[in-house]
Amino acid sequence: MIELKNVTKRFGEISALNRVSLTVNDHQIFGLIGSNGAGKSTMLRMIAGVVKADSGEVLIDGKPVFENPAVKQEICFLPDTGYFFQNATPIVMQRAYQMQFPKFDAERFAKLLAAAGLSPERRIRTFSKGMQKQLSVLLGVSAGTKYLLCDEIFDGLDPAMRQAVKSIFAREMIDRDFIPVIASHNLRELEDICDHVGLIHQGGILLSEDLDDLRYHMQKVQCVIRDPAKEERLLAGLDVMRAEHQGSLLTFIVRGTHQEIMDLVQGADPLFAESIPLTLEEIFIYETEVAGYDVKALIS
């Protein structure tokens, strides 16, 4: 289990994390999502013991991680840009990882390299960006650590390799005690792999929930209600995050379960009503908008 308890970290005048509390439980794939500069990378580095908290605690299985070599042996951190020794080959990096991680599985690494079509003797500097990203992932998986921290792991990977990485993670979780934590902007990639997601915004945690629960308690509804008074009463009685009209069609995002929301909608005597499943990307946008983050300003 990973625990952040009231953690704060500043870099000069910049507040990277502000009184953050978060738990990553065993037996789950945890997705960390957030806007640019939200604090995702800083959080991963603190969990890895690379960066020390100004205040609060970062615990791995109940033990402090910073300056604790025994705990760090169970954590492998893959940064956004992979680090490789100058002129190194995959075999050279394997030996380096074996020195850091006693459980490194050389046989597993060789099989993964062969499956990915990566030569163990080729200099890594001649690899493409995507191939280097693949190599980072294979080294991380082969390290044999309980925790694998991944910063933008899917960036630069082709669709086939992305799916392969997801399959590798699923297999590792079946075979051993393995907990990946994946920070990404690619919300669609996280949607079909993560069990639990944490949404970080401006250095704080907006939410941390099981993905199924998150979807279960947020609905997107489209309806046509003839009586304006009934429509007004309906919206007033709901926890509406956003509502807009397109002609007579009312579309709104609301907190609550599908059944309770649709029961209330039917009580307004609609001509038409339906609930539409939300994607993780839509959930992220609506939650950040509620928190005052203008997504449209970034893409307009």
How much is the average pLDDT of 71-96?
93
Span of 49-63, 150-164, 210-224, 245-259 with lowest mean pLDDT = 150-164
Q: pLDDT at position 298, please?
A: 40
Write the pLDDT tens digit of every residue in 205-236: 888 888 888 888 899 999 999 999 999 999 99
Interatomic CA distance for residues 159 and 189, integer angstroms: 10
Residues of the chain above pLDDT 90, percent: 65
- What would the two tokens of residue 47 be? 């969990």
Q: pLDDT at position 297, please?
A: 46
Span of 8-17, 57-66, 208-217 with lowest mean pLDDT = 208-217
Q: pLDDT at position 149, please?
A: 96
The reply to whether the predicted model has a pTM over 0.75 is: yes
DSSP, res 144: -
Span of 24-28, 30-34, 287-291 with lowest mean pLDDT = 287-291
Span of 98-112, 227-241, 262-276, 277-291 with lowest mean pLDDT = 277-291
Q: pLDDT at position 292, please?
A: 66
Q: pLDDT at position 291, please?
A: 66
How much is the average pLDDT of 43-56?
94
Amino acid occupying residue 171: R
Nearest in space to 196 (alpha carbons), one of 27, 60, 5: 27
Interatomic CA distance for residues 189 and 259, integer angstroms: 28
Q: pLDDT at position 299, please?
A: 34
Residues of the chain above pLDDT 70, percent: 96
Cα dist from 9 to 180, 199, 266, whole Å: 23, 18, 49
Per-residue confidence band for 293, with pLDDT thresholds at 50, 70 and 90: low
How much is the average pLDDT of 258-273?
94
How much is the average pLDDT of 131-150?
94
Where do we find the tokens 């109940």? 62
Question: What value does the mean pLDDT of the chain take?
Answer: 89
Taking each helix axis as running N to C, give the angle between helix 129-142 and helix 90-100, from 0 to 180 degrees, rounded to the nearest 10. 30
How much is the average pLDDT of 224-251?
94
Write the pLDDT tens digit of every residue in 157-183: 888 888 888 899 989 999 999 999 999
DSSP, res 122: S
Q: pLDDT at position 70, please?
A: 92
